Amino acid sequence: MCDVSDEIVTAFERLIPQLAHYNPPPTRDELQEMAASPAITVFIARLPDEQGEIVGSATLAVFRTPTGLHGWIEDVIVDGSARRQGLGKALTEACLEQARALGLQEVHLTSRSARCAANQLYLAMGFIRRETNLYRYPLKD
């Protein structure tokens, strides 16, 4: 994603509530900030028809810490009307290909246990479920 068009803004307004009803969709400025960041790659999926409507997205975030270069796949979203067509897998594979190209050794992602289809997909793709505690500390009320 490089240009933040009205189409992209509208797509995220439609997609984000399907993933996280408690987070508002990103604004145009926030999308532009992501597009300008070398640490973030946003992939989009389009329907393979004449209109080519945006029906999915996934984000790869890469950052360095003292223990190395890390990658996280975030916000894999496919519109409810376009699921079960391989788009989630294609978006995740695009993130993995980019991570390999950047020289990462591994990538991480999280998925709520209630997202059964997504969890099955990740396991089928070779992701390994880790026994870990993931903590969240809310900084805003």
Domain boundaries, the chain: 6-124
The predicted model scores a pTM of 0.89
Question: Looking at residue 103, what DSSP letter applies?
Answer: T
Report the SS3 class of residue 126. coil
CATH node for 6-124 = 3.40.630.30
Average pLDDT value for residue range 14-31: 91
Tell me the per-residue pLDDT of 68-89, one tens digit each, with 9 for 90 and over.
899 999 999 999 999 999 999 9
Examine the pLDDT at 109 and tell me if it is beyond 60: yes
Nearest to 118 by CA among 88, 73, 98: 88
Confidence at residue 2, expressed as pLDDT on a 0 to 100 scale: 63
